Every structure is written in structure tokens, then in C-alpha cells.
Structure 1
């Protein structure tokens, strides 16, 4: 039986079934956790979460994405405050599969579908935590309204609209006493935010303008290691180094990549017009970002007892504790500066037209500047000597969404279209002076474009009291074009490609008794390759071009998904059980390997079939077990494996990389009095495999490790205008890894005011 036939059969069964009449009216959406004062902003098919101020109050939030870190079976890869690679993971979605998460702000797309890895996170920096009024999360691709990038899930941020004319401000300070290997530093940071909101008393216009400045010093994200060499040849004797037998590469730790100094500035303006049924919204935001790593630290000492950063003598060979190694002086203890400036502009119009409620959203994100400069070794860094420049040429995306909705009797019909265009261009140069990128010599250029056009239809049918069935269908038409690679004088152009898919959806929701609700959601989804996966090549750390870092022949991912929910509302306590299943053909995965110089290199490949299923238990308590106590807690068991992989048979039957078997999140909030709140948060993830073959499992540098972090926060509202808080993230100082180290114990203080 085909998947489409299965959907049709289940729809007929749902229509012909007899539904018990609910004795009380309940919301049509099954929201398992969160606020219910405002409607969820995403179509709630499958597991759905809506978070608001009540939940936000229990979080130490320095980044926007911090506000959702306790959501059920959810993970935010945030390594430090101000992290530029904070991708999100749903259920069994790998954190390098960033293109499987559709993230929006007020309906404007901020997901970076230029690529699919840590380097392409959502543009979180365009919104600050204080601007956010609501965070909605829906798991899986069960609504036809959204593209195949919703294969993992959907996140929408709703920002605060002015309710009156006001001014506001917020200051934060944080410190992380970091201790690992030979690096011991107290890392300080802080942020300042201010703005104003204006709302006409008797008019349709409102305006909110804000700006934020964040500065933070973060732990080193990488460490240098010596490379074992054959004995016998002349070598420079050295001492020091750190031995970590638990690290991924079994070689002495030579030093760190330097603590990173992060600078971020944000300017944001949002104009709204509301008159009757007409709503217009215009958004513009600019984000300046700079990351500087200028002080790498060595743990080694040379023959003279001074710090040793490598030497050209003896071809870089060194002798440590009687063993021979190499330390390439041109690839070690580099200095680096990364700059990224981007802006987002969007326009949304909603109005009734010819009996339909029409909503149209148009947005673009543009990179004004995106470049990374790096020295060739320590001495070149100090003297502004030779280095590497990686720069983006024209890189941007445009998205358009139009939806027409109308209710006709028992039918709530939605029709619409989506369109997007993504463009990338990346250039690599060698330079004589790395800081100012002087006298660049061309190495490579790669780039290309993708385009997607989608149409959908969805019909939410109220069949009887408490029973709703929503069939839908989505068709997508995809094209890649203008793909090119230039290496010196050699020019390669890639033939354009076209593809299309039709994906059916079905969701049946039944409120079958007072306080009881269940929902079955079925769908297929197609995630086409990103322009970066197809065309954007990269330079390895040694300056060589990585010919495997992209693949113009990648196939689209295609999933079959199912989710069954059962919710029991007991008044102050709500319990939800969830079973989910996903089978994906042609999963795109990024393999990590090493080139001839023992430098890490990435390779994109299709995996024939992967599969995940699991169970989730979610509890939400309000004023229970006694007045003033709120609890959100959830546990998930995930079984995600590679079913078939002809390119790597050893991976078959193995738990998929970076996916834990257990994940638990919880947030407890105790309202001591009307103005004082104490909160505890906890996140746990069991130890996953760090590679697709299941051979690499560990709890140190280079691995994805077990995670157990506890957070605490105490906040107090002094009056209607002023509030203060103090908190600790990672209270127990758990040392965890996502290859890179995650922040250790971090203290935060905050004060905010409103006039």
C-alpha cells in the first residue's frame, strides 16, 4: 500500500468513526506546555509548545535562543553567551542538520538555509531576549503550509508590540571562571539594551525601536595537539603539554586557540498598522558581529624554558618525554578575526479580500560583510605577516509567503504559496599581511543559487463535537543553477538541476471526553539540498581547497513521519504522552575526515535510509503541589539508527551520530511572593556516539559528550518599573562537550526598567 493510499484510508476511518461528545469546550489545539493567553502562531499539528512570560521568568537569558532550552525533547547548541553557531535540534535531528529546522521571527524567516551545519545557524542576533513575547515550537512537518525544511520542526518568535508609549532599558553582566587543561581565566562579559515604544492613543500606528550592545570573553573552542612522528630524525627538545587520555586524538595538548572576544551590536525598528481587519507590519534590523581570537596560549616550553609556539627547525619536529612529534609552526597558534554584518527587512500585510483572509509576508536577509582573516602561525600573527582571507561575495536570501484562509461551514480552508531564492559566493585568498588582508592572492571561488516554489492546500474539517480532521497536500518545485568553482585558472560550471515533489499530510484531533484529547498526525516531507551543500567549497585549516566540502549531485532528503499524542488535563496538572516515528531516504550527512596534512576536512554524502522513533512524557503543573509552584518537566527516549548506507556499511544498525538515547529537561519556578521568583532548571542528555559508525564515544575534547546542567535564578520586581535578578548557569560546573567545550559555571546579574 502506498503512503498516499494509507493517508486516504486513515482519513476515511476517522470520518466514519463515532466521536463521543465532549462535555466541555476545549481549545482546538493540543498545547502540551506553555502559555494559553494568546493563540499559537504556528499551525499546531503534532507536538506543539507555546512559551510566554511565565516560562521566560525562570530562565537566565542572555541570548534569544536561551528562552527555549527547556522545551520538550529539544536541544540548543549554544556553547557560550553570544555564540554564532547556536543551531537547534528536535528529537532525533542531528545538530549539524540545521536545514531541518524552520525558524522565524514574526513570520519572517531567519533560518540560514544557505547551508546545513554548525556554520549556518538561525540569525538569532536580530532579536534580543527582552524583545520576545512568545516562543512557539511545533515538532515535525505535519502542516502543508510549511516547506520541507520543517522536517525537524518549526520555531516562531513573536516580538512585543507596544501597548502604550514607553521607554525601556536593560543591563546584564556575566562572568565565567574557566579552568581546563592549562587555561585558567576569569572571563567577563555584559550587555546593554535600550529602546522605546510608541502607540497612538486613537490611531492605528505603533512603533518599537531598540538597540543592544553585547560584549563577552569566552572559553577557547579548540585546542592544538601534537602530531606523532617517526623516531630517529633530529628534533627540538621541549617540555610541558597536557596529557588527556580521554580526548578524541591521543596526543599531548599543546595549547589553546585563544579565548574569543565577541562583540555584537543590534539595531531594530518595527512599525505596525492595525485598523479593523487590516494589519501591516514592517521590520528592519541590523546586526554587527565581530569575533577576535588574538591571544593563543601554549602549554609548551622550549629548550630555553620560554613559551614554545613551534619552530621551523628540524622541519617542525619536537621531542617531548622521549617521544617524537611534529608541531607545524605555520598551522599552530594562529590569530584570527571574523566579522559578520547582516540585515533583515520584512513586510507583512494581512487583510480580508473577496471573502478570504489574506496574509502576505516578504522578507530578505543580506550579508553586508562576512569575512574571516587568519594568520599563518604565531609569529605571523604578531608581526601581521602572511595569512588567509575567506570572504563572502553576494550572499543573501529572499522569501515570500502568501496564505488565503476562509471558513465555510465546518471547513476551515487554507490555500497558499511559498517562494524563496538563496545565493552564495565564497572566495579564498592568501595574503601578505593577514590583519588588513593586504596583497591578496586568489585561491578559489565557489558559489551558486537555489530556488524553491511551493503551493499548498489544507482543510481543517470539524466533523462532530470534539473531532477535527485536517488533510493537506503540498507541492514543491526546486531548481539549482549558476553553480561554479574556480581554482586558479581552472573554471568548472555545474549544470542546472530541477526537481519536484508532492507531499500529503493528514492530522486527526479528537477531544473524546472532558479533559482528554488525542491527535494522530501523518506526513511526508522533502528537504532539497541547500546552495552551500551543492556549491560552497571551503579551505582547510592548512589553506588547501577542500574538494569534498560540497557535492553538486546530492539528492533531496525525503521523510515519512508519524506522531501520536494523548493529553490528560487534570486542571492544575497536564500530562501528555507522545509517540513519534520518522524514516528518511537519502539523509544528507557531513562526514569528518583528515587530509594528507592531518588537517580536518568535511565531506557531504547521502545516506540511503535512516530511521528514528521514540516516546515522550511531558508534565506541566501550575500552582501544584502547592500555591506558587510551577513545573515543566519532560523526558524522551530516542532510538535513531542508520538503516542502510551502502557507502559505509559499518554504520548500519548503529545509533545515529550526536543523538542521545535519553533527553530530560525541566524548569521549576517558585513564586515566593508577588514580586519574587526562584527558579531551577535542568537539562540532561545521555552520551551519544560522536561518529556515524559508533566507534567514538567519550567525555572530553573532540567528542559529543553526556550533558547534565543545572541552572538557578532569583528575580525580584521592586516596583512596576524596576526589576533585578541574579542567576547561575551550570551550577554544578559540569564539563560537557559538543566537540568544542561548553561554558562552565557562569554567573549572571541583570537589571531592567520601564517608564
Structure 2
């Protein structure tokens, strides 16, 4: 049955081949088609530039991929991060629709090395470089999918205009502003039939978006609001290995394996993840005679509640068992009551940005952008045990993030026509300041009293940078780009309780080089090499935490990551077909990685101690190829395919010698993505996407080899399908499904099972 579903889904867009092929088909733009500026332009000028915020030029220094608005209509695009999840060398860990922790991994940087990627929306930073790992996901939710006009992906740190955090790459999201009065109303509903272990439940959600925009004279503006409410499947399962001590006789637990293949009893789950996100935003642009002013204001309210954690265990009288030594089928285990706590989190944040651009004399352009992000409220309240547990005494705790946020500023000067059109020059200055602090207090849920908050830990980082980048068309078919970035880093005001850390100051210089060759109108090539320095972020340096049996210890002495990155790109393109191939190699010293182990706390109990440490040497070798063909076999069928092979290897790690020679965790060796779109008419299109990723590891020593269990990093093949009907110029509707074959897979946490959605909208 499953094979038949896969076969039918993949061939769905091809099924109409027997119909009349003379109907006109919509064109699908592929990244290779939209990025080959050097291939199709006269060879007499330096034309390998694109633009950054404010229309400033940026030279093409490495591999680039563009995703058009039309291309986004052919995929299931329910959250903004969906735009990049099927691109080569990219992993997005989206655990359910509306996941606040949808982390991003690019090439040799895994999905938990979130400080190695940059994400912008209209020049505003969305990357969350206050924290990393699962807490460091970009703030995707501050952009509604309905706003997106196109997405640009830059692979690697080859442009001097970006910090060393671009080791993985850069995602630039551009949104649209209307040229005339426009009202947009869109809505969608989704449903997941979840059935795993001892929980079978229908999970559902909705999304509503509305906006009003207009142009009044020189002023363009758009005001929008979006509400997303969804239930995600339980994120965690609780299990126990065999124990020596007998206990209460129970039933209901599920025998299984842990990620290392050991026999365990699964005795509960964390409960449904209930997410509610309200987004309010205002964007504007005012045209000047020789420039523009632009402003953005984004306010977000997010609630994440998990209040129905479930124990599978019951005693002989039918009572639910939450903790203690237990015996099932003659085998002894142990359950922990703290696993079943209820958690409620409320997070309110404000992101503001302002920018200005102006044309100066002699062909120079100037641009300035500032942004400010503030956590207005971020409070997580947890009960000590499940409220239904007879042993719960009403106690719990509350954790707050105070004085948390960032400020950034960028100033650029560029001359795209310097020295008779064959030399370009960009100069700039960058500033960022990140600060984070956490407080913790005890809560009595019965009396409603909250103890005074006690500061736990926190600190600040500050970076100032100067950069210069120049491009030279030194021969008709050859161009050279060289860049230099100087950065000055400070770690400031770090504390843990009453203990203070010494401030630190460091600097680094990162040169960049790129050589391009336009062989003819269809074929071009580019070799890029760059040094990148990624300084540690606030969490890695200063955030300490104590949560039950896990102790997280910051490391204020972390060395910065220093990498040398190479990329060779070859591109072939015609009007309706293209091939884009890359070979890349990275060597990174002092990779910052979270390492953990189990230790005896002195009383016989085991505690996990987790800390950020430097891995002296990691190397990554890889290759990817992207192909597109509009009008494959028939003018109705468009196809996009990409394949990526990566080997990220730990070369040297004295802190854990067993990891040397092993794969870097969470980086699959192989991935491929295929999208087929069948244009039944100019108004109706059917698409199928197949996303395949090989398995990887969660442990540095690669000792976790078991598949399809909680905490494994599984291989998977997800098949998505969609049919979209553009009813008229103003209205559309669509029906889609993610994970059509209902495959069960884990990325430590379980991925969602089959999810069906319907959406529609009207623009007037």
C-alpha cells in the first residue's frame, strides 16, 4: 500500500500527460535561472552584483540561490522556513507547523550550530544570536508567508559584508509593498492524525492573515496581522533502562530501545505542544529625489503550553503511576515525576528597524540601517510534578528573560561604476550589541505566591567591524573580487549569581577572494576562498542553567571559531533549463560545540553536565548539484532536482578522543529534493515534492546507531503533494498534504505524521 502511495504521489503531476499539451503552462523560475547575471550580460562590464538592504550593490562572491514567489506557490508553504527546506545543503528542523524552535543548518554547520547562519527580512536580522542549539532558531514567525516576494540564499562566508557567522550561509527574505491600494485576506486549516506509542489523537490548527497596503504619493506602506494556532505532537518520550530494585507492579509501558540499542521501557510522553502566535507589523518606504527612507515595526505575542503530559503506567488498581521504582512483566524500571510537569510560556517581543539610502556625487551611494530587538516578556512557569499526581504539593518555578535583546547598525558606501565601469568598491561599518539575563523564582500554585526572582546568569557581547570589498573586470571574460573584514569583539558583564566574569577583548581579520570566468552565454564558473571568524555568543559564554538532572555550564573562556572555506561553482543555463554544481571544502579550528556526559552527583544519582567546549579541528568536504527543466517531456511539466553529499569529520578532539575520525552530529551525508509541477491550465497546478535525507548521529562519538526511536537522527523520505487553483486574479485556493505516506521519523524529537491542509485567499 505504501509503495503504491509513493508511486501515485510522484507521478501525480505527470498523470495528465495524455491530455492536450497545447494549453499554456506557467513558467517556474529556478535558482539557476535567476542568479546567472554574469552569464547573460555583456562581458565588458562587471555585472556579478546583486543588492542588499536599501538597494545597495553586493558583488557575487560565491554560490547563490534565488527562490521566486512563483516557485513558493508550488510547495507547501505554511511557515516562512518552508521556503528554504528543500534547497541544497540546507536542513530545517521544523517539528510541526508553528514550531518556535525551527533551527537552520547549512552545509558543514548542523541544525544546532545556529550561530553559523544569518537570516534577514528586508535587512532586519531574524537570526537569534543570543542563544544557540534548539533555542537559537531564527525568528521566522515575524514574517508571514503571504508577505514574501522572494528569498535569496548565499552559501558560505565569501562576502566581506557579512560577519563570520555566515560560515554556513545567509538567507535574505524580501517582502513586497503594494503600488496601489490592496487588501489581502488569507486563511488555512491543518490537521495531523497522530498515532504513536500510547497516544492516538487528531491534532489541528488554523492560520489567518490580513493586510492593508497602499501608495500615497511617495509613501508606500503595509499593515498586517497574522494569527497561527496549532497543536503539535508530543516532543519527548520518557523511558527507563532496567533497574535492580523492584517496585510497584504496573502495566501500560511500551518495551523499546534507546538510541544506542539498549532495552528500555517507554513510560510516558511530554504532551501536546499547544502554540499560539499573534503577529502585528507595519512596513513603510518613502521615496526621496535621490534615495529613500524605510521603516519596520514588528510586535509578536507567542504562547507555548504543554499541559497534558501523559504517564502510560497504571497499577493493579488502575491508578496512574507517575514516579518511583516500578515492575512490569517481571522487569524492574524507574519513573521520574518531574517529566510530567505542566509548562506554560508567554513571550512578547518587539523588533524595529529604520533605514535610509541616498545617491551621492560621482556615482557613490550611501545606506544606513539600524535595528533594535527587545524581549518585552519571556516567562516560563512549570509545575514541579503533574497536577494530577497525588504527590504534587503545588510547588513549581518560573524562569524569566530580562534585559534581553540586541541592537545592530550598518553603514555602507558603494560605487558600482568606479574606473570606467570595470571596478566596483564597497566600504562599510557594522555594529552589534547582544545582551541576555535570566532570573528564576519558586512558585506556589496553591497560594498563588511567587518568590522574589534570583538572577541566574547572563552577559553581553559587542562586535564592531570595518569592511572593504572590490570587484575588477580585468578581462572581458574574467572578474576578480577581493574583500577584507576587520572585527573587534568584546565579552562584557558576564555573571553567574554573584560571581562576575572578566571582560574580554579580541580582534580578527578575514580576507576574501573570488575569481569568475564567463566561458560563454551559457556557461560560467567561479572559485571562492575566504577566512571566517565566528566569535562566541552570549549563551555559550555566560548562560548557566540548572534543570532537574541537567546542569548547563557556560564557558567564558571559549576561543572563537576560525575557518578557511573553499567553493568551486560551475553553472550551465539556457532559457528553460539549467545545471548548477558546487564542490566545497571547509577547515574550521576551535569549533564551538556543546558536549555533555553523565556524572555521579555524590549521592548515587546520575546528572547530565553540559558545556560548550572547543573542538580543535573539524573538516568538511562536499558537493551539490541543482538541475531544473521547464517543459520536461511536455510544456506542462516543470522539474527541479538537487542532490548534496557532505562528510563533516572531527579530526582532533582531545576532550573526547572517541569522537576523532567520526561524523559531526546532525549532518547527513546525503540529501536530495525533487519537485515536479504539472500545469493543468494557466490557473490549476499540481505539485509533488520528495525530500530525502540520510541518517546522522546525535552523539559526538557516533555511538547512537538505533533508528526510529526517540533521540535518534533518522533517515527519512517525506513526500508532499499540493494542488492549487487560481480562481481569478484576486482569489485562490489550495489543498495539500505533508508526509503523504505517514512515515514515522525522529530528529531526536518525532517529526510530524501525515498533515493535511487547505488554504485560500482573496486580494482586492
- TM-score w.r.t. the length of structure 1 is 0.91
Structure 1 385/28 Cα, relative in aligned 2: closer, same or farther at 3 Å?
farther
Tell me how far apart the structure 2 counterparts of residues 208 and 239 of structure 1 sit (CA, whole Å): 58
1:574 alignment counterpart: 578
Structure 1 263/23 Cα, relative in aligned 2: closer, same or farther at 3 Å?
closer
Of the three residues 376, 382, 396, the one matched with 1:387 is 396
Tell me how far apart the structure 2 counterparts of residues 135 and 195 of structure 1 sit (CA, whole Å): 20
Write out aligned runs for 1:284-683 (5 A). Answer: 284-310=297-323, 316-329=324-337, 331-355=338-362, 356-379=364-387, 385-406=394-415, 407-409=417-419, 410-433=422-445, 438-440=449-451, 442=453, 444-486=455-497, 491-542=498-549, 546=551, 548-595=552-599, 596=601, 597-598=605-606, 600-683=608-691
Structure 1 117/386 Cα, relative in aligned 2: closer, same or farther at 3 Å?
same
Structure 1 434/704 Cα, relative in aligned 2: closer, same or farther at 3 Å?
farther
Tell me how far apart the structure 2 counterparts of residues 394 and 516 of structure 1 sit (CA, whole Å): 52
Alpha-carbon distance, 1:381 to partner: 7.4
Tell me how far apart the structure 2 counterparts of residues 562 and 626 of structure 1 sit (CA, whole Å): 39
Alpha-carbon distance, 1:580 to partner: 0.3
Of the three residues 177, 188, 197, the one matched with 1:172 is 188
Structure 1 183/496 Cα, relative in aligned 2: closer, same or farther at 3 Å?
same
Tell me how far apart the structure 2 counterparts of residues 161 and 622 of structure 1 sit (CA, whole Å): 29
Tell me how far apart the structure 2 counterparts of residues 748 and 28 of structure 1 sit (CA, whole Å): 46
3-state SS of 1:468 partner: strand
Tell me how far apart the structure 1 counterparts of residues 218 and 49 of structure 2 sit (CA, whole Å): 32
Q: Which moved more, 1:66-75 or 1:725-734?
A: 66-75
Q: Which moved more, 1:42-51 or 1:67-76?
A: 42-51
- State the aligned residue count: 713
2:32 alignment counterpart: none
Structure 1 639/221 Cα, relative in aligned 2: closer, same or farther at 3 Å?
same
Tell me how far apart the structure 2 counterparts of residues 196 and 267 of structure 1 sit (CA, whole Å): 12
3-state SS of 2:461 partner: strand
8 Å CA contact 2:380, 2:398 repeated in 1 = yes
1:734 alignment counterpart: 743
Of the three residues 213, 216, 219, the one matched with 1:197 is 213
8 Å CA contact 2:182, 2:214 repeated in 1 = yes
Of the three residues 138, 150, 157, the one matched with 1:134 is 150
Tell me how far apart the structure 2 counterparts of residues 318 and 654 of structure 1 sit (CA, whole Å): 38
Structure 1 41/729 Cα, relative in aligned 2: closer, same or farther at 3 Å?
farther
Of the three residues 666, 674, 696, the one matched with 1:688 is 696
3-state SS of 2:132 partner: coil
Q: Which blocks of at least 5 consecutive residues in structure 1 are unaligned?
A: 1-20, 311-315
3-state SS of 1:563 partner: strand
- Superposition RMSD on alpha carbons, in Å? 2.3
Alpha-carbon distance, 1:568 to partner: 1.1
Tell me how far apart the structure 2 counterparts of residues 686 and 435 of structure 1 sit (CA, whole Å): 51
Structure 1 29/61 Cα, relative in aligned 2: closer, same or farther at 3 Å?
farther
Tell me how far apart the structure 2 counterparts of residues 59 and 703 of structure 1 sit (CA, whole Å): 27
- TM-score w.r.t. the length of structure 2 is 0.90
Tell me how far apart the structure 2 counterparts of residues 40 and 745 of structure 1 sit (CA, whole Å): 43
Tell me how far apart the structure 1 counterparts of residues 446 and 483 of structure 2 sit (CA, whole Å): 54
3-state SS of 2:403 partner: coil
Tell me how far apart the structure 2 counterparts of residues 69 and 666 of structure 1 sit (CA, whole Å): 12
Tell me how far apart the structure 2 counterparts of residues 395 and 23 of structure 1 sit (CA, whole Å): 47
3-state SS of 1:624 partner: coil
Structure 1 623/25 Cα, relative in aligned 2: closer, same or farther at 3 Å?
farther
Alpha-carbon distance, 1:593 to partner: 3.0
Alpha-carbon distance, 1:294 to partner: 0.9
Q: Which moved more, 1:474-483 or 1:84-93?
A: 84-93
Structure 1 657/245 Cα, relative in aligned 2: closer, same or farther at 3 Å?
same
Query: In the TM superposition, what whole-angstrom CA distance separates every residue of 1:373-395 from its partner, at most 9, and x where no partner exists?
Result: 11111137797811121111110
Of the three residues 216, 235, 243, the one matched with 2:230 is 216
Query: In the TM superposition, what whole-angstrom CA distance separates every residue of 1:331-375 from its partner, at most 9, and x where no partner exists?
Result: 131111111111100001111134420111100111011121111
Alpha-carbon distance, 1:625 to partner: 3.1
Q: Which moved more, 1:509-518 or 1:718-727?
A: 509-518
1:752 aligns with 2:761: yes
Tell me how far apart the structure 1 counterparts of residues 210 and 39 of structure 2 sit (CA, whole Å): 49
Tell me how far apart the structure 2 counterparts of residues 301 and 381 of structure 1 sit (CA, whole Å): 12
8 Å CA contact 1:697, 1:705 repeated in 2 = no
Tell me how far apart the structure 1 counterparts of residues 633 and 294 of structure 2 sit (CA, whole Å): 43
Structure 1 215/433 Cα, relative in aligned 2: closer, same or farther at 3 Å?
same
8 Å CA contact 2:226, 2:280 repeated in 1 = yes
8 Å CA contact 2:582, 2:625 repeated in 1 = yes
1:229 alignment counterpart: 243
Structure 1 514/599 Cα, relative in aligned 2: closer, same or farther at 3 Å?
same
8 Å CA contact 2:294, 2:355 repeated in 1 = yes
Query: In the TM superposition, what whole-angstrom CA distance separates every residue of 1:638-674 from its partner, at most 9, and x where no partner exists?
Result: 1110011111111111111111110111222121111
Tell me how far apart the structure 1 counterparts of residues 434 and 722 of structure 2 sit (CA, whole Å): 41
Structure 1 434/212 Cα, relative in aligned 2: closer, same or farther at 3 Å?
farther
8 Å CA contact 1:380, 1:387 repeated in 2 = no
8 Å CA contact 1:242, 1:252 repeated in 2 = yes
2:21 alignment counterpart: none
Structure 1 751/400 Cα, relative in aligned 2: closer, same or farther at 3 Å?
same
Q: Which blocks of at least 5 consecutive residues in structure 2 are unaligned?
A: 1-37
Tell me how far apart the structure 1 counterparts of residues 202 and 47 of structure 2 sit (CA, whole Å): 47
Of the three residues 707, 713, 719, the one matched with 2:716 is 707
Query: In the TM superposition, what whole-angstrom CA distance separates every residue of 1:383-432 from its partner, at most 9, and x where no partner exists?
Result: 78111211111101001111100131221100001100000001122222
* Higher RCO (CA 8 Å, separation ≥ 6 residues): 2
8 Å CA contact 1:52, 1:133 repeated in 2 = yes
1:720 aligns with 2:720: no
Alpha-carbon distance, 1:82 to partner: 0.5
Alpha-carbon distance, 1:39 to partner: 9.3
8 Å CA contact 1:588, 1:605 repeated in 2 = yes
Alpha-carbon distance, 1:41 to partner: 8.2
Alpha-carbon distance, 1:40 to partner: 11
Query: In the TM superposition, what whole-angstrom CA distance separates every residue of 1:298-347 from its partner, at most 9, and x where no partner exists?
Result: 2111120233223xxxxx22122212222233x13111111111110000
Structure 1 344/351 Cα, relative in aligned 2: closer, same or farther at 3 Å?
same
Q: Which moved more, 1:619-628 or 1:402-411?
A: 619-628
Alpha-carbon distance, 1:31 to partner: 11
Tell me how far apart the structure 2 counterparts of residues 322 and 400 of structure 1 sit (CA, whole Å): 64
